[in-house]
Amino acid sequence: MKKLLLTFALCVVTFANDNNFVNMKNCESIKLSKLTSIVSCHQVDYLVEYRVVDDEEKDPVKRVTVVTKENQVVIKNLGR
C-alpha cells in the first residue's frame, strides 16, 4: 500500500512539473489605479477592473479583458 501511495505521489509531482500549468513566476502585475490593474503573463495582458462591493462574499471583479497583439476580448463582464 505504501509503494502504491508513493508511486501515486511521484506521478502527481511529475505531472505538476510539466508545462501544463502556467508558471506564475514569469508574470507581473501593475496596479494602475484603485479599481484597475493589469497583469502581464506569457505575452498576454489581462486588464482587470474592480468594483466596490459591500458584501465580502460577492466577487469584486467587474470586468476582465484579455489584450493581445491582434485583438482584445472581454472574458468576464458584470455590466454594472
Please write the tens of the pLDDT for every residue from 25-80. 678 888 998 889 988 887 788 888 888 888 777 778 888 888 888 888 888 888 65
Q: Nearest CA to 62 among 47, 38, 46, 79? A: 79
Domain assignment of residue 30, yes or no: yes
Query: What is the total count of domains within the chain?
Result: 1
SS3 content of the chain, % helix, strand, coil (to 5): 25, 40, 35
pTM reported for the whole predicted model: 0.59
Domain assignment of residue 8, yes or no: no
Domain assignment of residue 31, yes or no: yes
Sign of the Cα pseudo-torsion (21, 22, 25, 29, in order): negative
Domain assignment of residue 2, yes or no: no
Which residues form the domain of 27? Answer: 23-80
